[in-house]
Amino acid sequence: MLIALADKVRRFSYAPYSRYRVGAALLGESGNVYCGVNVENASYGLAICSERAAYVKAISEGERRFIAIAVVTDNGGSPCGACRQFMSEFGLETIVIQADAKGNYTLTTVGELLPDAFTPATLSEAKKRRARK
């Protein structure tokens, strides 16, 4: 279901520069699904990826815990580094389904995509070390 939704929303992608259309469907712990697409910008650094778009939509509606995200591209591409870091904020155990336009897919987790992630726990540990000094 997540793959089908992510693939369906890809048509709404705004990718006039790369022509690399990406759709995402994020399953929250509540059972709600939030979709996102990549949105490019003439100032390339201002583009937003489908994964972050889906997370922002979910977070803006109060969701904070996630089960899985499907990301669909023509060739089954993997989330970029910025998206991996962004997703790690909300759970390293979140399942990541990477699929291509033909429905072929692989399963992994955010933690497997971003080993040794910088997480809220990293900040807590640093704060504790400073307090001990």
For 43-84, the DSSP string reads SGGG-B-HHHHHHHHHHHTT---EEEEEEE-SB-PPPPHHHH
Q: Which residues contact 60 (CB under 8 A, 6 or more apart)?
A: none
Tell me the domain boundaries of the chain: 2-132
**Cα–Cα dist 67/74, whole Å:** 24
pLDDT at 125: 76
pLDDT at 41: 97
Query: Does residue 130 carry a pLDDT above 80?
Result: no
pLDDT at 17: 97
Mean local confidence (pLDDT), 81-96: 97
The number of residues making up the chain comes to 133
Mean local confidence (pLDDT), 68-80: 97
CATH superfamily of 2-132: Cytidine Deaminase, domain 2 (3.40.140.10)
9 class by beta-carbon count within 10 Å (0-12 exposed, 13-18 middle, 19+ buried): buried
Spot the catalytic one: 51, 61, 63, 93: 51
51 noted as active-site residue? yes
How far, CA to CA in Å, does 26 sit from each of 11, 16, 92? Answer: 17, 24, 14
